[in-house]
Amino acid sequence: MNKLQSAIIGYGVMGKIREKSILKNSNLTIKYIFDPGNEKPISKSITDINEIFNDNSIKIIFICTPNHLNFEYTKRAIMNGKHVFCEKPPTLTIAQMQELIQLENKFGIKLMYGLNHRQHESVITMKDKINSDEFGKILWMRGRYGKSVDETFNNNWRCSKELAGGGILFDQGIHMLDLMYYLVDDLEPYSALLSNNYWKIPKMEDNAFVTLYGEESKVTASFHSTMTQWRHLFSLEVFLEKGYMTINGLKTNSGSYGNEVLTIAKNRSKAPRATWESEENFTFEVDNFWDKEVNYFTNQVLSNQPVEIASSQDALRLMKGLTKIYDIGWKLN
């Protein structure tokens, strides 16, 4: 079987990660790599991006660029008949995302986004358990996701509203929002507070406190996204009618979020106090979520099946949610 020719646009941290996953996939090969910041890969490097868009042999483009370039390159790729895998955030505005969906449908291509937290084994296991109905309906959820940055952040494109689109909510909180949307279909932003009290970059939040509510499900959810968490942290708690599930830690390349542990237990609310004997812990030592994303997208292209995980519709819902959170959250600042 002939391998699908692919190209990578953007060769920073994510471009290098995607390159490794592509090379592991037996159905893919890399023909070109282009970096707008002129970082040169060892091989396959080109200096004219038009070579990628104009080459009919290239079927898939992986876009791994700074946020403000995602829309432009995705649009050009689609209009040249390429299937596109793009890192988050999908776009900077709702209108841009709606335009891409129109083009996706018009040109009949596949479009997927790097909402990689859905591919973590702990999340997959949690989702399966929730869908089994063994624990009943979700009552509420709570998330915390935080990291710290240093003074060099001020020299990075991520500290620019124009280039990044937003602060820590746009950069990292987008994953927590996506996970909560993934677990509960009808959640919508209800209230939010955004602040930039520490780094003091105008309209670039270093903390976001968000609540969500589902009109039909009656689920209440909240999360805190921060870049003044001096010890990196990931925590997602889901409490249901008959028990609870929590994820603490996240398996990453840096290891800075600690071990990824999923705890599952049945309801234990009997008086006079709760006990801990019923908890079951699952530690995920190895997580190949990067590879799973690339493999899934490649399979959907080869089989001509719709993208159902991290799709353009998922991306549109995220953009609408983020926009609403920003509209609400900055009113008091």
- pLDDT above 70: percentage of residues in the chain: 94
The amino acid at residue 213 is: Y
Secondary structure (H, E, C), 230-281: EEEEEEEEEEECCEEEEEECCCCCCCCCCCEEEEEEECCCCCCCCCCCCCEE
- pLDDT above 90: percentage of residues in the chain: 84
Q: Give CA–CA dist 115/178, Å, rounded.
A: 7
Helix count (H) and strand count (E) of the chain?
10, 13
Structure tokens at 51: 């070579």
Please, what are the domains in the chain? 4-116+291-306 (3.40.50.720), 121-286 (3.30.360.10)
Q: Give CA–CA dist 84/295, Å, rounded.
A: 14
Asked whether the predicted pLDDT for residue 270 surpasses 80, the reply is no
Burial level of 304, CB count in 10 A (0-12/13-18/19+)?
A: exposed
Asked whether the predicted pLDDT for residue 272 surpasses 60, the reply is no
> Tens of pLDDT along 122-151?
999 999 999 999 999 999 999 999 999 888
Instruction: State the chain's mean pLDDT as an integer.
Output: 93
Residue 332 pLDDT level (bands cut at 50, 70, 90)? low
> Tens of pLDDT along 25-77?
999 999 999 998 876 666 788 989 999 999 999 999 999 999 999 999 999 99
**SS3 call for 300:** helix
Model confidence, pTM? 0.95
Please tell me which residue, 31 or 277, carries the higher pLDDT value: 31
